[in-house]
Structure formats: structure tokens, C-alpha cells
């Protein structure tokens, strides 16, 4: 039996720790924050599960992953159906017959397609040179200007005419009245929050969790003391930024308690105009169908932000520069640190949804212990 150190009590670390413990190994999990669950952490306030690092909806078509998580939590039937607010007018998302009816008063799929094609005609025969032209060529000007432009510009911090066309490869259009954002087979929110789910994964007599503990405070000692290390922090930090820093987009959250039972009538409202500085307002209680204090609610405004070293890294910026740099770090990792497994969104510098993180953690488990 080996002694494992897992750096990071996020989803990747928790799955790996659980599976190693299940196979009889001693596992120590260290986490630099004062809580487990990493970015999927939910904190209970007024009986409401507040998603502290951004709204998280579990969705997957991977049956094995879906069955895997059921061991640790019961999921509710939450279906993500965001609504867009453009200058006070509300539109259903994703783009579907409800949106087209609200936008143009059309009633049938044929009427909607005719309208979209009529709008796309302005780009006919032209090659889109930027994101704006690309979006118009795919979906037409009305949808672009009211539902894509402002939101995208806020997200990227740049004008749509200055963003490359390839960012939008296609605009999914649904010619049925269906506001379900995801096409996946399974979807939901763990009842009682994500923190409980991760706590249940880590509840095992062979797992010890140490919070407020930074790997870099005693890196050499840890590497000596443990047989194997699973590292889920930023890969460039592991190598002391020797080759340079990987870049991220960040987010700023502004959370507020309101003395009303129901503030906006939906969990997620996107603000798609350019003037409102935030992109989304989340009303957390709607993820659990209004559970919590009936006279109070918690909302969070989400502001996209540039990332500077020391800020929370949210989204990897997978451009050529960063992908090349990551590849070099990966090569170092493969060569130099045979006892370290790099995993998760920071260790692999990749945007992963939760189901993908679980799937890659289970792959790492198979590589380590065999199927
Ligand atoms: P993390 O959760 O980041 O865990 C890594 C942990 O390592 C952290 O707790 C960190 O503190 C710790 N750590 C780092 N360095 C050290 C160190 N030196 N010492 C000790 N500990 C360390 N996915 C979905 O499926 N659905 C969604 O709706 C969804 N929404 C999202 C919304 C936002 C805004 C973002 C940014 C992501 C969203 N995701 C969503 C993705 C989801 O958050 C990730 O898939 C998941 O959190 C990744 O887990 P992880 O274990 O790889 O990383």
C-alpha cells in the first residue's frame, strides 16, 4: 500500500482520493483554502446554497459519470433555462422558438427560418472578418445585436469587431419551443449543495483532509514523504513559473442579500446589453426550487475581469502562446516528476466541465491502479 498526497480538495482531487482510499491506500488531501470542493463550493446562507465561485449546473451524457456521482449525492431535476434581459425586454435562451416569437412575433419553424435567412442575407457572399460579421452571417443582425454582441464584448473585454471570427463557430438554433439550455441526457443540482457531495467523497477512514495548507510551504518535504503526489494546482506554479506564466480570464462576484422571497424569478438572467457592467445575475435559491428562507434571497452579479497573478484563475486562455507554454510544462512534468500526477483544470490547463473532470480523474485512477 502506498502513501498518496493529493494537492487540492476540488472535484479532481476528491475523486482521486476516494478511489485510492477505496483500494486501501493512505491518502492525505491538502487544500490551501479554508474549505473543500474547490470552485464548486457552495455555502449555506439563510438555508440557500450559494454557489461561491459561479453558478454550477451538473450536466452530462456520460452515463458512467452520472452513475458515479449518484453515490455521493441525490440530484434534483433542475433544468438550466436562462433568460436574457436586453434593455428591459426578456428573451428565452438558448435560441429557440420562444426567442424567435419574442423577437419577431413568428409562430412556426418555417416563419422563424425565413426570418433568420432574410437577416443573414446581408453577409451573403462575404467572408466574415471578425466575430461581429461571423455572428451576423450565422444568425442575422437582430439576434446578434440584442443577444450576442454586448454579452460577448463584456466577456472578452474587447469589441466584437476586434475579436476573431473563429470564436463563434456556430450558433445553435432550436426550431422547437424548448428552453432547456443543455442537450445532455442527464442534468441536475445535488440536493443540499456541491460541498456536501465533495465531503461525502472525502468521508473515508483512509482519507485525512488538511485545510489552510499550501503545498508550496513544504514542497520538498511533501515530495520526499509521500510515494505518489496528485497535484491539481496550476502547473506553471509547480515549476516556479520557470518558463513563464500561463494566462487566465477572471471573474468578480458581487453577492447581495435581498429582503424579498423571489427577486428575479429565475436562477440565471443574462444581461446582454453593453451598458450593464455585469454579464449575469444568479439567484441561488432557484437552483433548489426556492428552498430556504421564504422572505429572503441571495443574488450574485458576475463581472468578467482581466486576470493578474494572485487573482483567482477561472478560464484558461487557450491561445497559441499559452497552449505552447503549457505543452512545454507538460513535457517537463512527464520528464522530471515521475511521482507526480497533474490533474484537473489547473494541472492540465484546460476548461473542463464537472463531468469531464470526473471522467479524467477516473482515467487517472485507471492509469494508476489498473481497471
Ligand atoms: P478546482 O475546483 O479549482 O480545485 C483545485 C483545488 O486545488 C482548489 O481548491 C485550490 O484551492 C487547490 N489548490 C491549488 N493550489 C494549491 C496549493 N498550492 N496547495 C493546496 N491546494 C491548492 N462545470 C459544469 O459542469 N457546469 C457548470 O455550470 C460550470 N460552471 C462554471 C462556472 C464558472 C464561473 C467556472 C469558472 C467554471 C464552471 N464549471 C462548470 C467548471 C467547474 O468549475 C470545474 O470543472 C471544476 O471546478 C474543476 O475542478 P478541479 O478539481 O479541476 O479544480
Q: What is the tally of structural domains in the chain?
A: 2
Answer whether residue 39 is part of any domain: yes
C-alpha of residue 183 to centroid of ligand 1, in Å: 23
Residue nearest to atom 30 of ligand 1 (CA): 56
Q: Read off the pLDDT of residues 358-371 as tens digits, 9 standing for 90 and up.
A: 999 999 999 999 97
C-alpha of residue 210 to centroid of ligand 1, in Å: 18
Q: What is the pLDDT of residue 368?
A: 95
Whether residue 29 has its Cβ less than 6 Å from ligand 1: no
- The CATH number of residue 338's host domain is 3.40.50.720
Q: Do 102 and 159 fall into the same domain?
A: yes
Q: Do 161 and 197 fall into the same domain?
A: no
Answer whether residue 271 is part of any domain: no
Q: Read off the pLDDT of residues 9-52 as tens digits, 9 standing for 90 and up.
A: 999 999 999 999 999 999 999 999 999 999 999 999 999 999 99
Q: What is the pLDDT of residue 362?
A: 98
Average pLDDT over residues 56-65: 98
ipTM above 0.85, yes or no: yes
Last residue of a domain, one of 138, 167, 196: 167
Answer whether residue 145 is part of any domain: yes
Q: Do 212 and 343 fall into the same domain?
A: yes
Q: Do 142 and 229 fall into the same domain?
A: no
Whether residue 187 has its Cβ less than 6 Å from ligand 1: no
Residue nearest to atom 48 of ligand 1 (CA): 345
Residue nearest to atom 49 of ligand 1 (CA): 11
Q: Which atom of ligand 1 is nearest to the CA of 347?
A: 52
C-alpha of residue 317 to centroid of ligand 1, in Å: 15
Q: Read off the pLDDT of residues 88-131 as tens digits, 9 standing for 90 and up.
A: 999 999 999 999 999 999 999 999 999 999 999 999 999 999 99
Answer whether residue 108 is part of any domain: yes
Answer whether residue 327 is part of any domain: yes
Chain-centroid distance of CA 42 in Å reads: 14
Whether residue 236 has its Cβ less than 6 Å from ligand 1: no
Q: Do 209 and 116 fall into the same domain?
A: no
Q: What is the pLDDT of residue 81?
A: 97
- Enumerate helices (H) and strands (E) in the chain, giving the number of each: 13, 16
| Helix, strand, coil content of the chain in percent (nearest 5) | 40, 20, 40
Answer whether residue 279 is part of any domain: no
Whether residue 350 has its Cβ less than 6 Å from ligand 1: no
Last residue of a domain, one of 104, 139, 167: 167
Strand ranges (DSSP E) for 150-276?
A: 186-188, 207-210, 228-231, 248-258, 268-271
Q: Do 239 and 330 fall into the same domain?
A: yes
Whether residue 201 has its Cβ less than 6 Å from ligand 1: no
Q: Read off the pLDDT of residues 188-240 as tens digits, 9 standing for 90 and up.
A: 999 999 999 999 999 999 999 999 999 999 999 999 999 999 999 999 999 99
Q: Which atom of ligand 1 is nearest to the CA of 352?
A: 45
Q: Do 37 and 162 fall into the same domain?
A: no
User: Across the chain, what does the average pLDDT equal?
Assistant: 96
Q: Do 120 and 35 fall into the same domain?
A: no
- Pick the closest to residue 171 from 134, 215, 138 (CA basis): 138
Q: Which domain holds residue 144?
A: 95-167
Answer whether residue 294 is part of any domain: no
Q: Read off the pLDDT of residues 312-350 as tens digits, 9 standing for 90 and up.
A: 889 898 889 999 999 999 999 998 768 999 999 999 999
C-alpha of residue 159 to centroid of ligand 1, in Å: 29
Whether residue 360 has its Cβ less than 6 Å from ligand 1: no
Residue nearest to atom 31 of ligand 1 (CA): 56
Per DSSP, the residues of 302-362 read EEEEE--TTSPP-EE--SHHHHHHHHHHHHHHHHH-TTEEE-HHHHTT----HHHHHHHHH
Q: What is the pLDDT of residue 337?
A: 66
Residue nearest to atom 29 of ligand 1 (CA): 56
Q: Do 200 and 109 fall into the same domain?
A: no
Q: Which atom of ligand 1 is nearest to the CA of 314?
A: 36
Average pLDDT over residues 148-177: 92
Q: Which atom of ligand 1 is nearest to the CA of 40?
A: 47
- The residue whose grid cell reads 475523486 is 15
Q: Do 13 and 72 fall into the same domain?
A: yes
How many CA atoms lie within 13 Å of 25's alpha carbon, on the beta-carbon side? Answer: 21
Residue nearest to atom 43 of ligand 1 (CA): 39
Last residue of a domain, one of 167, 201, 222: 167
Whether residue 9 has its Cβ less than 6 Å from ligand 1: yes
Whether residue 361 has its Cβ less than 6 Å from ligand 1: no
Q: What is the pLDDT of residue 142?
A: 97
Q: What is the pLDDT of residue 335?
A: 86
Q: Give CA–CA dist 194/201, Å, rounded.
A: 11
Q: Do 238 and 195 fall into the same domain?
A: yes
C-alpha of residue 39 to centroid of ligand 1, in Å: 4
Answer whether residue 209 is part of any domain: yes
Whether residue 10 has its Cβ less than 6 Å from ligand 1: yes
Q: Do 333 and 236 fall into the same domain?
A: yes
Average pLDDT over residues 248-267: 96
Q: Give CA–CA dist 81/64, Å, rounded.
A: 25
Amino acid at each position: 500500500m502506498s502513501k498518496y498526497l493529493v494537492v487540492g480538495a476540488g472535484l479532481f482531487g476528491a475523486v482521486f482520493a476516494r478511489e485510492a482510499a477505496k483500494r486501501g491506500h493512505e491518502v492525505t488531501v491538502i487544500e490551501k483554502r479554508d474549505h473543500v470542493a474547490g470552485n464548486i463550493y457552495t455555502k449555506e446562507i439563510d438555508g440557500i446554497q450559494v454557489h461561491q465561485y459561479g453558478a454550477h449546473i451538473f450536466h452530462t451524457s456520460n452515463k458512467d459519470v452520472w452513475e458515479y456521482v449518484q453515490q455521493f449525492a441525490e440530484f434534483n431535476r433542475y433544468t438550466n433555462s436562462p433568460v436574457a434581459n436586453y434593455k428591459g425586454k426578456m428573451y428565452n435562451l438558448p435560441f429557440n422558438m420562444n426567442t424567435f416569437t419574442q423577437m419577431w412575433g413568428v409562430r412556426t419553424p418555417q416563419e422563424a427560418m425565413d426570418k433568420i435567412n432574410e437577416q443573414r442575407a446581408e453577409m451573403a457572399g462575404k467572408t466574415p472578418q471578425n466575430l461581429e460579421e461571423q455572428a451576423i452571417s450565422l444568425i442575422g443582425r437582430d439576434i446578434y445585436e440584442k443577444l450576442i454582441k454586448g454579452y460577448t464584448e463584456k466577456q472578452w473585454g474587447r469589441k466584437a469587431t476586434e475579436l476573431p471570427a473563429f470564436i463563434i463557430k456556430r450558433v445553435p438554433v432550436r426550431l422547437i419551443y424548448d428552453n432547456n439550455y443543455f442537450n445532455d441526457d442527464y442534468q441536475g443540482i445535488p440536493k443540499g449543495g456541491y460541498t456536501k457531495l465533495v465531503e461525502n467523497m472525502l468521508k473515508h477512514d483512509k482519507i485525512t483532509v488538511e485545510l489552510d495548507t499550501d503545498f508550496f510551504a513544504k514542497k520538498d518535504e511533501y515530495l520526499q514523504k509521500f510515494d505518489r503526489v496528485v497535484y491539481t494546482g496550476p502547473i506553471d506554479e509547480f515549476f516556479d513559473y520557470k518558463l513563464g506564466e500561463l494566462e487566465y480570464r477572471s471573474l468578480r462576484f458581487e453577492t447581495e442579500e435581498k429582503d424579498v422571497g423571489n427577486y428575479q424569478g429565475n436562477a440565471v438572467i443574462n444581461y446582454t446589453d453593453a451598458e450593464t457592467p455585469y454579464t449575469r445575475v444568479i439567484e441561488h435559491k432557484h437552483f433548489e426550487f426556492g428552498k430556504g428562507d421564504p422572505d429572503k434571497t441571495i443574488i450574485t452579479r458576475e463581472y468578467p475581469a482581466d486576470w493578474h497573478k494572485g487573482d483567482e484563475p477561472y478560464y484558461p486562455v487557450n491561445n497559441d502562446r499559452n497552449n505552447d507554454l503549457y505543452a512545454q510544462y507538460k513535457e517537463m512534468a512527464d520528464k522530471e516528476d515521475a511521482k507526480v500526477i497533474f490533474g484537473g483544470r489547473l494541472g492540465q490547463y484546460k476548461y473542463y466541465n464537472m463531468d469531464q473532470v470526473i471522467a479524467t480523474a477516473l482515467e487517472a485512477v485507471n492509469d494508476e491502479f489498473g481497471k
